């Protein structure tokens, strides 16, 4: 079986350097497909190719009609760091194990593609609305990808798969439809409060039945169409702004303990800019880490929910 190192090394052969340059130009929309490219499992074989040695821009930041089309490419293990894509269309492509740290996309459509174990650290995978367009991801697999500090903002995620996401993945004001999350999810934030892009609180459907929350939260959406993890420390606050205000008031009642009064401050942050009154808030209590704080919050939420 050919290794990742061997896949990369083949592009450094003297007789392949010209092919690399021509392939870069072709993928940037600046030339025809070069001859000499092989096929691998029905896709153009670009595995391990070094496409970007420095930040590269594909498309035109001022012209949404200048986007390029990538179709049926195998870019497994390719080097694509700091890539900028405007109005791109990417279909039936494989980016498994590719280096995509710092990827930025605007107004692009990605479908029927895989990013298994790809390095997407710090990526802006949704960049709000650009030229009237949002990034759309349909039937895309992100299983075990490195999504640390990556953000989808105002994107459309339809039938996508996430397994064991890295810490600090953020989904902000996205339309999320029939997505699946599996394995341990650490510091995942799903925020639909509409601060970056107006979003319907009902625009979220997902299956977390095979996932475990570790310091994760869903806020600003309604969770009617969400299958949540089966874990004892999970808190679900329906119509959460009113419940949080009531919980804070209870923690600040005249006979409250000093610990209860201190704990009330934790609720200030989600109440500073709450979502709509009919939206929900879901999180794992153990994410607070301190047993005393967890116990106090548990009592407060039980009180306001009438448990």
Per-residue pLDDT band at 307 (split at 50, 70, 90): low
State yes or no: pLDDT of 170 exceeds 90.
yes
State yes or no: pLDDT of 209 exceeds 90.
yes
Q: What is the four-CA torsion angle of 242, 247, 252, 254, rounded to 10 degrees?
A: 100
When pLDDT is averaged across residues 15-39 and rounded to a whole number, the result is: 91
Contact 31, 23 (CB under 8 A): no
Contact 157, 137 (CB under 8 A): yes
Per-residue pLDDT band at 16 (split at 50, 70, 90): confident
Per-residue pLDDT band at 187 (split at 50, 70, 90): very high
Per-residue pLDDT band at 6 (split at 50, 70, 90): confident
When pLDDT is averaged across residues 263-270 and rounded to a whole number, the result is: 92
pLDDT digits (tens, 9 = 90+) for 114-156: 999 999 999 999 999 999 999 999 999 999 999 999 999 999 9
Q: How far apart are CA 78 and CA 86, in angstroms?
A: 20
Q: How far apart are CA 112 and CA 117, in angstroms?
A: 16
Cβ neighbours of residue 55 closer than 8 Å, sequence gap 6 or more: 82, 83, 84, 102
Q: Which helix (H) or strand (E) holds 282?
A: strand 281-284
What's the pLDDT at 54?
A: 60
Per-residue pLDDT band at 53 (split at 50, 70, 90): low
Q: Name the β-bridge partners of 183.
A: 211
Q: How far apart are CA 246 and CA 252, in angstroms?
A: 10
pLDDT digits (tens, 9 = 90+) for 94-123: 999 999 999 999 999 999 999 999 999 999
What are the structural domain ranges in the chain?
Answer: 4-233
Q: What is the mean pLDDT of the chain?
A: 94
pTM over 0.85? The answer is: yes
What's the pLDDT at 64?
A: 94
Give CA separation, 287 vs 60, 101, 238, 282, 297, in Å. 42, 27, 19, 12, 12
What's the pLDDT at 291?
A: 94
Topology of domain 4-233 in CATH is Pectate Lyase C-like (2.160.20)
């Amino acid at each position: 079986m050919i290794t990742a190192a061997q896949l990369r090394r083949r592009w450094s052969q003297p007789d392949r350097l010209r092919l690399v340059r021509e392939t870069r130009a072709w993928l940037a929309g600046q030339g025809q497909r070069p001859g000499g490219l092989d096929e691998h499992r029905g896709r153009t074989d670009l595995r391990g190719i070094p496409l970007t040695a420095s930040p590269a821009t594909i498309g035109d930041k001022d012209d949404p009609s200048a986007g390029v089309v990538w179709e049926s490419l195998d870019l497994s293990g390719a080097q694509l760091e700091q890539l900028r894509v405007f109005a791109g269309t990417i279909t039936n492509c494989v980016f498994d194990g590719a280096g995509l740290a710092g990827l930025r996309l605007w107004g692009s459509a990605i479908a029927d593609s895989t990013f298994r174990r790809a390095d997407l650290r710090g990526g802006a995978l949704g960049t709000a609305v650009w030229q009237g367009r949002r990034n759309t991801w349909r039937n895309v697999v992100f299983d075990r990808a490195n999504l640390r500090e990556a953000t989808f903002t105002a994107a459309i995620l339809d039938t996508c798969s996430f397994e064991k996401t890295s810490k600090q993945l953020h989904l902000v004001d996205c339309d999320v439809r029939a997505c699946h999350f599996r394995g341990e999810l650490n510091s995942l934030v799903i925020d639909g409060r509409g601060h970056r892009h107006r979003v319907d609180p009902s625009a979220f459907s997902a299956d977390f039945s095979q996932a475990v929350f570790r310091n994760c939260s869903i806020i600003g959406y309604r969770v009617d169409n969400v299958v949540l993890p089966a874990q004892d420390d999970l808190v679900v606050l329906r119509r959460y702004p009113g419940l949080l205000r009531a919980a804070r008031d209870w923690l600040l009642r005249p006979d409250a303990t000093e610990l209860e009064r201190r704990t009330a401050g934790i609720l200030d942050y989600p109440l500073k800019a709450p979502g709509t009154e009919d939206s929900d808030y879901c999180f794992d209590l153990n994410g607070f880490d301190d047993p005393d704080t967890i116990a106090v919050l548990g009592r407060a939420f039980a009180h306001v929910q009438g448990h």
